[in-house]
Amino acid sequence: IVAKRMYEKENIEVLMEYIPLRINGERKVTSLVVQDKKDGKEIELAVDGVFVEAGGIPNNSYLPKDVITNSLGEIITDKEGKTNIPGLFAAGDVTDGKNKQVIIAAGEGAAAALAAHDYLLRN
């Protein structure tokens, strides 16, 4: 949804396949230098600010193949962080939780750790 809206905006230039290299400025941001992943060419963009966001695709490549995920690759958990595999817990942005914020991930991590502790005590 966010990507669709972004492409619809006339005042947004989408630069796919670029890597951010530097944020320039003394007392405020003045430019962002990006590098084309294909040819290595650097481009300096005049900007007033930069919003940094970590990737939107969950890194779940390390999981056993039988862990249930949704269509986005997010691990499906209950409110305690339990997955479909007994003894496997998950928390944070890799899960199917609605809000992706560090403070929420920290709370989910605490809940999952307590549930994992309880699981280990009982098993």
**Contacts of range 38-42, beta carbons closer than 8 Å, 24 or more positions apart:** none
Its pTM surpasses 0.75 = no
Task: Indicate the residue type of 97.
Answer: G
Digit-by-digit pLDDT tens for the chain (123 residues) are: 888 898 999 988 888 899 999 999 999 999 999 999 999 999 999 999 888 776 677 888 889 999 999 999 999 999 999 999 999 999 998 999 888 888 999 999 999 999 999 999 999
Tell me which H or E stretch contains 23: strand 18-24
Distance (Å, whole) CA 59 – CA 91 = 12
